[in-house]
Amino acid sequence: MRLLSSLWRISRISVLTNFSGNLSHGIWRSRVVSGGRYGYGTQSEGPRQISRYPVPYKKDLPYDIVELMEEIERKGGFLPNVFKVMAHRPDEFRAFFAYYDILMNKESGNLSKADKELIIVATSANNKCPYCVTAHSALHRIYSKKKTLADQVIVNPELADLSPRDRAMLEFALAVAKPENITEEHFGKLKEHGFDREDAWDIAMVTAFFAMANRIAHLTDMRPNEEFYILGRLPKEKFEESK
């Protein structure tokens, strides 16, 4: 499954960049949440539950979903909360991550992985989604090796240190997100910076998919893993000092 291999690559980069030693962030434990329900959390979680919907026990989930979760957790040291939250609906979990895989691991076109993550950051900030902004700004830092650009885009894309190409890309993405009526003028501005109509489709599909993800996060009150806040920010030595 390409999704799994992609997440493994991210996890390996994350571990090399920020984590060392015996990782315990991803150990599953059950805890009581409001209303008498039980959900899964990780050792790095605070007192607030990660979703207002029940998170199933692993023993109650289909094998393929459990296998994916455990592999991601083992390789990366923690399991992103979106996997736990979406496990509430196994069929939708599979569909969600299958489409994510198609969009994010597409090997053709002119969008890099860093480009896609920056689109997600900009449009998720516009949609006021804490989970997606936090998680995907971390991934952008890892892919781009730029520690501050995602933060600048979150605060104010117009004042961010964007290249003309990146600015055109984000302006188009935000036009789709807001939503504006998309005209030939939008396509023309993209073309000036090397994006063709298929690239425009890709920008729009990433934007649209994560608009849906943003709304799911709002519905469920999905909380970001604490690990996302420091991924790609600190070298290993300083990370160790900060613990």
Task: For the beta carbon of residue 92, count every other beta carbon within 10 angstroms.
Answer: 12
Q: Delimit the domains of the chain by residue range.
A: 2-104, 113-219
Higher pLDDT pick, 5 / 59: 59
Lowest mean pLDDT among 32-41, 65-74, 209-218: 32-41
List Cα–Cα distances, 77 to 13, 26, 134, 197, in angstroms: 12, 5, 17, 39
CATH fold label, 2-104: 1.20.5
Task: Give tens-digit pLDDT for 213-241.
Answer: 999 999 999 999 999 999 998 765 554 45
Token pair, residue 231, equals 């991924």
State the Cα–Cα distance between residues 42 and 32, nearest whole angstrom: 13
Query: Is the pLDDT at 94 greater than 70, yes or no?
Result: yes
Predicted pLDDT at 99: 97
* pLDDT at residue 3 greater than cutoff 70: no
Q: Which fold has domain 113-219?
A: AhpD-like (1.20.1290)
Contacts of 108 (CB under 8 A, 6+ apart): none
Helix or strand holding residue 119 (H, E):
helix 113-126
Judge whether 160 and 153 are in contact, CB under 8 Å: yes
For the stretch 173-186, pLDDT in tens is 999 999 999 999 99
- Contact predicate 196/168, CB 8 Å: no
Q: What is the pLDDT of residue 233?
A: 86
How many helices (H) and strands (E) are present in the chain, helices listed first?
Answer: 11, 2
Whether pLDDT at 28 is above 50? no
Q: CB of 211 within 8 A of CB of 218?
A: no
Cis, peptide link before residue 157, omega less than 30° from 0: no
